[in-house]
């Protein structure tokens, strides 16, 4: 795995981004931002799952003003997502937003960006230049590839902000196409010092979207690129947070709650491993400590195959061996599989 690219560190609310700060898991609400209670409730649920930064859509004045009340009910920093109307960015800043996301594809006029940058600088609020392949600036050069056009759009906006003495910048270059996204990030990572928010846009429903996002995000992280991540899914945003942490855990970049090791099952298994693993997964969600738990289908290979697990079970007919670090500790009855395993996990 490549060494992580060292980016300029910025602060969004109480969350550090870039430098050697941990890679941050971000999501976006799917409620109507004007519905303050629903938005607070959704953000609080995301906080419970470990979401560290949340973006909200700001389509109008009422949504911009709602940020003030939403902030009173939540603990994580909020980022206002602004398109088209620069005045909404000013209102969101007035309402206390911790970060702004601007799309250079629809807010690029220097005089408008200047007003936003001035107001953001007064409050030390960072701006994410959020380039999206689907909404590139009209002036984009059609002779360039999409990845090049995305980089170009970001560089132009960065140049403008820098000329206004504004450097609290984060950049994202998202496309649905994974190779395009990777190329764009690889290119810009060498050209700017700012932290990068990475993700694959409009990735789809969890079934395909988690895979598409994982391929894109993991490739970039493996290359050392990325300071915040979002898995964009057509699903409840809690799924985005869960998937985000699974990616970071898979690359050993963050520890966050348990890791479940479960065998794929085969003709040797004498219990329904799929059902059992799902039941254990449902219980593990309540645990917030890092622990590796294994659910294995047979006593022949189970403990050995999962020997680096902290706690596990290897099932036989009607019974299972409970093991700790690959060593058998006792035998349990089928009816007690989940309860006994979880009791051992709690003890651990």
Nearest approach in angstroms of CB 312 to ligand SF4 is 10
d(CA 39, CA 45): 10
SS3 244: helix
Query: 234-253 burial, b if ≥16 CB within 10 A, otherwise e?
Result: ebebbbbbbbbbbbbbeeeb
Closest residue by Cα to residue 230 from 250, 210, 255: 210
Q: Among 128, 66, 65, 125, which residue's Cα sits nearest to residue 101?
A: 128
The nearest distance, CB 315 to ligand SF4, in angstroms, is 8
Give 162 or 270: the residue with its C-beta nearer to ligand SF4. Answer: 270
CB of 311 to ligand SF4, least distance (A): 16
Work out how close the CB of 25 gets to ligand SF4 at its nearest, in angstroms, rounded to a whole number: 31
Q: Within 13 A of 314's CA, how many CA atoms are on the CB side?
A: 21
Q: Cβ closer to ligand SF4: 1 or 266? A: 266
Measured at CB, which residue is nearest to ligand SF4? 297
Based on CB atoms, which residue is closest to ligand SF4, 187 or 305?
A: 305
Which residue is associated with the tokens 């520890």? Answer: 255
Q: At closest approach, how far in Å is the CB of 125 from ligand SF4?
A: 52
CB of 325 to ligand SF4, least distance (A): 17
Q: Which is nearer to ligand SF4, 18 or 297 (CB)?
A: 297
Whose Cβ is closer to ligand SF4: residue 152's or residue 305's? 305
In this structure, what token pair is assigned to residue 195? 């932290």
CA distances from 329 to 16, 130, 222, 299, 323 (A): 43, 53, 38, 13, 5
Q: Please, which residue, 278 or 288, has the CB nearer to ligand SF4?
A: 278
User: What is d(CA 215, CA 178) in angstroms, rounded to the nearest whole number?
Assistant: 8
Contact positions vs ligand SF4 (CB under 6 A): 263-266, 268-269, 296-298, 301-302, 305
């Amino acid at each position: 795995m490549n060494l992580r690219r060292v980016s300029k560190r910025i602060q969004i609310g109480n969350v550090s981004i870039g430098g050697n700060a941990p890679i941050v898991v971000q999501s976006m609400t799917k409620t109507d931002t004007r519905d303050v209670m629903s938005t607070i409730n959704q953000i609080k649920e995301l906080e419970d799952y470990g979401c560290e930064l949340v973006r909200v859509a700001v389509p109008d004045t009422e949504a911009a003003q709602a940020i003030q009340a939403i902030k009173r009910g939540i603990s994580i920093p909020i980022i206002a997502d602004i398109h088209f109307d620069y005045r909404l960015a000013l209102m969101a800043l007035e309402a206390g937003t911790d970060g702004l996301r601007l799309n250079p594809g629809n807010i690029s006029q220097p005089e408008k960006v200047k007003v936003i940058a001035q107001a953001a600088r007064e409050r030390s609020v960072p701006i994410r230049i959020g380039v999206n392949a689907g909404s590139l600036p009209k002036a984009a050069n059609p002779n360039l590839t999409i990845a090049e056009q995305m980089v170009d759009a970001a560089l132009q906006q960065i140049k403008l902000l820098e000329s206004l003495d504004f450097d609290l910048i984060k950049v994202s270059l998202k496309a649905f196409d994974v190779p395009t996204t990777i190329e764009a990030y690889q290119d810009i990572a060498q050209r700017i010092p700012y932290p990068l928010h990475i993700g694959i846009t409009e990735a789809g429903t969890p079934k395909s979207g988690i895979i598409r996002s994982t391929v894109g995000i993991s490739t970039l992280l493996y290359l050392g690129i990325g300071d915040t991540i979002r898995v964009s899914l057509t699903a409840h945003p809690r799924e985005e947070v869960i998937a985000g942490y699974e990616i970071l855990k898979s690359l050993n970049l963050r520890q966050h709650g348990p890791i479940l090791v479960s065998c794929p099952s085969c003709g040797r298994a004498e219990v329904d491993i799929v059902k059992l693993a799902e039941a254990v997964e449902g219980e593990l969600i309540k645990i917030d400590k890092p622990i590796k738990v294994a659910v294995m289908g047979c006593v022949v290979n189970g403990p050995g195959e999962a020997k680096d697990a902290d706690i596990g079970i290897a099932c036989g007919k009607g019974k299972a061996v409970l093991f700790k670090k690959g060593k058998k500790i006792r035998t349990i009855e089928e009816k007690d599989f989940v309860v006994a395993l979880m009791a051992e996990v709690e003890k651990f």
